């Protein structure tokens, strides 16, 4: 069975031969633990890969996204960074006031996707391929307005906010339509909606302003026969029913910010849980036995003839032995499927 | 009238809060009453609702904006009547860390609860925390960090405060931070979120 088939069986709850896996890592990990990271990747190769972005015209950025200093992304948003190996923060908004709305230019170079090169990549790999494009309207709004300003905007709701959302969303839809025409297996969208213990905005506001955007992305995927994956950090229990309802196939979330047993009771068998194993405490500070126990807990709560992907992130501060323990534990659990 | 101030603040109606504070002042209501039973009581209700997930960050920010507008109106009268804040809190994100949304929320909630806030911003050295705490006669030092690699600065700040003889309680918070870590570095307080921070600061000052 190829990795692609393994992941599809997982998504379809059709008893995959083993639990598929994927390791995410920040440059911090490859800077600090290059050998350990390489060993983990060799021992536990990924079953899911993200397609490279093959653009005919490269988007314009300035600086290095993961280096100290200043980085300007393809939208013109300016990030400041003090730490090597992680992404920086917006300190000044691109859009300081609504009179400057025309300053926001969507990065149209990302629409110069070379579909044939993407398809060649898909054909030459047995893994399940995810699109490189990642629609993230809430995050992009924060980058453009700066987070504090955007939260005030969401309370005040000026007309210009909706114009901006529409502009961003139209671009993301165009981009997703392009990727949907390739041979990738899944499209991806992402936005971090959770704080440590609650959503960042009310569920009602989320449903009114952002759910319709995500429904469009799901619709694009469905029309082209693609799976649809979503990432969202933080506590997001309140919107998971909506994600299930709209047909998200797989969700990457911080399970350990939520009650995992409750997640299982309510959502096991309705959607695939694409990780994770806790990167706030367990991976940096836990013992390997605690990590293994966490993996068992996730499997016991969420696995139902599939529906679980062994994913974790080798993030700042994580111990390599704990990251390895995650995949070893999942491998051992796979024997008893 | 104080109830009206609370309600306007809860709804984030900045202009209404300003008008109501003006009206209260014109009616010769004592300044302390407008402050404590109007503005601070309003923000206390916001804090409770935030903790209970009845309101979220946007609502807290507009309420804080309305509170600040009311405080600006009240400021000359607070000075005239020599009304003191509940305490002074020096707050910042530690050295090497640029994250501030959580720290800003905590600062807003504490200001709304009647504390004087000295916000040092982001990427703040231990020396700057210590000198600000000394100069401002701080009652509390509040530290924020979002990365496991920067939270170790918190230990450094606690130790520096102690070594300089400053017995000021320290409260810490941020995504990787836990109560256990606070105990480990001998920080007196820990808060998982902005609403809890106000409660925790209150307890530490009352000790």
Q: Does B147 sit within 8 Å of A316, measured CB to CB?
A: yes
What's the topology of domain A3-334? TIM Barrel (3.20.20)
Chain A residues in contact with B53 by the CB 8 A cut-off are: 198-199
A-interface mutation test, from B60, B100, B148, most A Cβ less than 10 A away: B148
Residues B50 and B146 in one domain: no
Distance CA A314, CA A162 (A): 37
Residues B7 and B76 in one domain: yes
Distance CA B115, CA B118 (A): 10
Q: What is the ipTM of this complex?
A: 0.93
Where a domain ends, among B80, B105, B131? B80
Where a domain ends, among B30, B46, B80? B80
pTM over 0.90: yes
Residue A230: count of CB within 10 angstroms of its CB: 26
Where a domain ends, among B51, B80, B109? B80
Q: Which of B59, B98, B192 sits opposite A82 (nearest CB)?
A: B98
Residues B26 and B93 in one domain: no
Q: Which of A125, A165, A122, A124 is nearest to A141 (CA)?
A: A165
Q: Is 90 exceeded by the pLDDT of residue A337?
A: no
Residues B111 and B199 in one domain: yes
B-interface mutation test, from A89, A285, A290, most B Cβ less than 10 A away: A89
Q: In which domain, by residue range, is B57 found?
A: 2-80
Residues B115-130 have pLDDT tens digits of 999 999 999 999 999 9
Asked whether the beta carbons of A56 and A118 are under 8 A apart, the reply is no
Integer CA distances (angstroms), A14 to A184, A224, A258, A272, in order: 21, 22, 26, 12
| Residue A318 main-chain phi, psi, to 5 deg | -65, 145
Chain A residues in contact with B65 by the CB 8 A cut-off are: 152
pLDDT at res. A133: 87
pLDDT at res. B174: 92
Residues A266-289 have pLDDT tens digits of 999 999 999 999 999 999 999 999
Residues B128-148 have pLDDT tens digits of 999 999 999 999 999 999 888
Asked whether the beta carbons of A204 and A139 are under 8 A apart, the reply is no
Chain B residues in contact with A317 by the CB 8 A cut-off are: 147-149, 176
Chain B residues in contact with A202 by the CB 8 A cut-off are: 55-56, 58-59
Asked whether the beta carbons of A21 and A309 are under 8 A apart, the reply is yes
Looking at per-residue pLDDT, the higher value among B175 and A39 belongs to: A39
Distance CA B173, CA B156 (A): 15
- Which tokens sit at B97? 């860390």
Residues A244-264 have pLDDT tens digits of 999 999 999 999 999 999 999
Q: Which of B137, B175, B96, B34 is nearest to A256 (CA)?
A: B175
Percent of chain A exceeding pLDDT 70 equals 100
Residues B188 and B92 in one domain: yes
pLDDT at res. B176: 87
Non-local (6+) Cβ contacts of B15 within 8 A are B69
A13-26: average pLDDT = 97
> If you ran DSSP here, which 8-state letter would residue A96 be given?
S
B177-189: average pLDDT = 94
CB contact B180 to A (< 8 Å): no
| Residue whose token pair is 């998200």 | A248
Distance CA A298, CA A128 (A): 22
Distance CA A232, CA A138 (A): 11
Q: Residue A230 pairs with which residues in a beta bridge?
A: A189, A251
Q: Is 90 exceeded by the pLDDT of residue B55?
A: yes
Q: How far is A91 from chain B (nearest CA, A)?
A: 8
Q: How far is A82 from chain B (nearest CA, A)?
A: 6
Distance CA A231, CA A134 (A): 10
Q: What angle do CA B6, B191, B138 make, to 5 degrees?
A: 80
pLDDT at res. B149: 85
Per-residue pLDDT band for A134 (boundaries 50, 70, 90) equals: confident
| Residue whose token pair is 């404590």 | B36
| Residue A6 main-chain phi, psi, to 5 deg | -60, -45
Q: How far from chain centre, in Å, is Cα A209?
A: 20
Asked whether the beta carbons of A232 and A190 are under 8 A apart, the reply is yes
A293-312: average pLDDT = 98
What residues 84-143 of chain B have any CB closer than 8 A to a CB of chain A? 96-101, 104, 122-123
Residues B121 and B199 in one domain: yes
B136-165: average pLDDT = 94
Residues B143 and B201 in one domain: yes
A118-136: average pLDDT = 97
B148-169: average pLDDT = 93
Distance CA B58, CA B62 (A): 6
pLDDT at res. A336: 84
Q: Does B98 sit within 8 Å of A91, measured CB to CB?
A: yes
CB contact B27 to A (< 8 Å): no
Distance CA B110, CA A210 (A): 31
Q: Does B104 sit within 8 Å of A200, measured CB to CB?
A: no
Per-position DSSP letters for chain B, written without gaps between them: -HHHHHHHHHTT-HHHHHHHHHHHHHTT--HHHIIIIIIIHHHHHHHHHHHTTSS-HHHHHHHHHHHHHHHHHHHHHHHHTTPPPS-EEEEEEBTT----HHHHHHHHHHHHTT-EEEE--SSB-HHHHHHHHHHTT-SEEEEE--STTTTHHHHHHHHHHHHTT----EEEESTT--HHHHHHTT-SEE-SSHHHHHHHHHHHHH-
A153-175: average pLDDT = 97
Q: What CATH number did the domain enclosing B54 receive? A: 1.10.1240.10
pLDDT at res. B147: 86
Alpha-carbon torsion, ordered A13, A17, A19, A20, to 10 deg? -100
Integer CA distances (angstroms), A52 to A20, A117, A133, B55, B117, in order: 21, 9, 9, 41, 47
pLDDT at res. A65: 94
Beta-sheet pairing, B88-93 with A186-190: unpaired
Beta-sheet pairing, B170-173 with B140-144: parallel
A288-317: average pLDDT = 97
Total count of domains within chain B = 2
Q: Which of A152, A195, A317 sits opposite B58 (nearest CB)?
A: A152
CB contact B48 to A (< 8 Å): no
Q: Does B65 sit within 8 Å of A82, measured CB to CB?
A: no
pLDDT at res. B54: 96
Q: What CATH number did the domain enclosing B110 receive? A: 3.40.50.280
Chain B residues in contact with A141 by the CB 8 A cut-off are: none
Q: Which of B53, B59, B99 sits opposite A89 (nearest CB)?
A: B99
Per-residue pLDDT band for B175 (boundaries 50, 70, 90) equals: confident
| Residue whose token pair is 């619709």 | A219
What residues 98-137 of chain A have any CB closer than 8 A to a CB of chain B? none
Asked whether the beta carbons of A134 and A186 are under 8 A apart, the reply is no
Non-local (6+) Cβ contacts of A126 within 8 A are A2, A3, A4
Q: How far is B29 from chain A (nearest CA, A)?
A: 31
Q: Which of B62, B147, B176 sits opposite A152 (nearest CB)?
A: B62
Residues B23 and B103 in one domain: no
Distance CA A319, CA A278 (A): 12
Chain B residues in contact with A200 by the CB 8 A cut-off are: 56-57
Q: Residue A71 pairs with which residues in a beta bridge?
A: A79
Residues B67 and B96 in one domain: no
CB contact B65 to A (< 8 Å): yes
What is the edge-to-edge ordering of all strands in the sheet holding B170-173? Answer: B116-119, B88-93, B140-144, B170-173, B189-190
Per-residue pLDDT band for B5 (boundaries 50, 70, 90) equals: very high
Q: Residue A253 pairs with which residues in a beta bridge?
A: A232
pLDDT at res. A8: 98
Q: Which residue is closest to B95 within chain A, CA to CA?
A: A82
Q: Is 90 exceeded by the pLDDT of residue A176?
A: yes
Q: Is 90 exceeded by the pLDDT of residue A56?
A: yes
CB contact A197 to B (< 8 Å): yes
pLDDT at res. B195: 83
Distance CA A8, CA A307 (A): 10
- Which tokens sit at A333? 């659990």
Distance CA A84, CA A181 (A): 36
Integer CA distances (angstroms), B119 to B104, B116, B124, B135, B138, in order: 8, 10, 10, 13, 12
Residues B72 and B161 in one domain: no
- Number of A/B CB contacts below 8 angstroms equals 70
Per-residue pLDDT band for A312 (boundaries 50, 70, 90) equals: very high
Residues B202 and B106 in one domain: yes
pLDDT at res. B81: 93
pLDDT at res. A208: 98
What residues 140-159 of chain B have any CB closer than 8 A to a CB of chain A? 147-150
pLDDT at res. B30: 95
């Amino acid at each position: 069975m190829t990795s692609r088939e393994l992941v599809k069986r997982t998504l379809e709850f059709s008893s995959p031969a083993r639990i598929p896996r994927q390791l995410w890592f920040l440059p911090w990990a490859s800077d600090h633990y290059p050998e350990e990271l390489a060993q983990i990747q060799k021992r536990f190769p990924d079953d899911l890969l993200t397609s490279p972005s093959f653009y005919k015209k490269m988007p314009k950025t300035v600086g290095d996204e993961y280096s100290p200093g200043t980085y300007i992304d393809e939208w013109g948003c300016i990030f400041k960074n003090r730490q090597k190996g992680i992404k920086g923060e917006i300190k000044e908004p691109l859009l300081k006031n609504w009179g400057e709305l025309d300053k926001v230019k969507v990065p149209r170079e990302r629409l110069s996707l070379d579909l044939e090169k993407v398809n060649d990549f898909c054909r030459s790999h047995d893994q399940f391929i995810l699109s490189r494009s990642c629609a993230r309207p809430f995050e992009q709004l924060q980058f453009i307005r700066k987070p504090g300003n955007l939260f005030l905007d969401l309370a005040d709701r000026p007309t210009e906010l909706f114009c901006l959302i529409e502009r961003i969303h139209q671009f993301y839809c165009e981009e997703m339509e392009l990727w949907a025409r390739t041979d990738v297996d899944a499209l991806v969208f992402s936005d971090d909606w959770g704080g440590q213990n609650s959503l960042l905005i009310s569920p009602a506001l989320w449903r009114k302003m952002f759910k319709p955007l995500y429904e469009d992305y799901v619709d694009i995927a469905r029309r082209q026969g693609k799976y649809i994956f979503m990432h969202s950090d933080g506590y997001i229990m309140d919107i998971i029913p909506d994600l299930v309802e709209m047909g998200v196939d797989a969700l990457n979330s911080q399970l350990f910010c939520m009650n995992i047993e409750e997640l299982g009771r309510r959502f096991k068998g309705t959607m695939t849980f694409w990780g994770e194993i806790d990167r706030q405490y367990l991976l940096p500070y836990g013992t390997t036995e605690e990590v293994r126990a966490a993996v068992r807990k996730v499997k016991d709560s969420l696995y139902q003839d599939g529906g679980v992907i062994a994913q974790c992130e080798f993030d700042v501060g994580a111990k390599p032995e704990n990251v390895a323990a995650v995949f070893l534990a999942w491998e051992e659990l796979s024997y008893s499927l | 009238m104080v109830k009206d101030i609370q309600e306007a603040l809860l709804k984030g109606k900045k202009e209404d809060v300003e008008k109501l504070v003006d009206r209260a002042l014109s009616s010769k209501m004592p300044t302390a009453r407008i402050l404590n039973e109007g503005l601070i009581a309003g923000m206390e209700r916001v804090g409770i609702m935030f903790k209970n997930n009845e309101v979220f960050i946007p609502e807290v920010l507009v309420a804080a904006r309305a509170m600040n507008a009311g405080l600006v109106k009240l400021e000359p009268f607070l000075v005239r009547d020599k009304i003191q804040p509940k305490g002074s809190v020096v707050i910042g994100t530690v050295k090497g860390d640029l994250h501030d949304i959580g720290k800003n929320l905590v600062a807003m909630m504490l200001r709304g609860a009647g504390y004087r806030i000295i916000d040092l911003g982001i990427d703040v050295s231990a020396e700057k925390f210590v000198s600000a705490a000394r100069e401002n006669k701080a009652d509390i030092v509040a530290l924020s960090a979002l990365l496991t690699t920067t939270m170790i600065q918190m230990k450094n700040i606690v130790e520096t405060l102690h070594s300089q003889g400053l017995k000021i309680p320290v409260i810490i918070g941020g995504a990787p931070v836990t109560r256990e870590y606070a105990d480990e570095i001998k920080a007196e307080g820990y808060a998982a979120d902005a609403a809890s921070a106000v409660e925790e600061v209150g307890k530490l000052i009352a000790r």
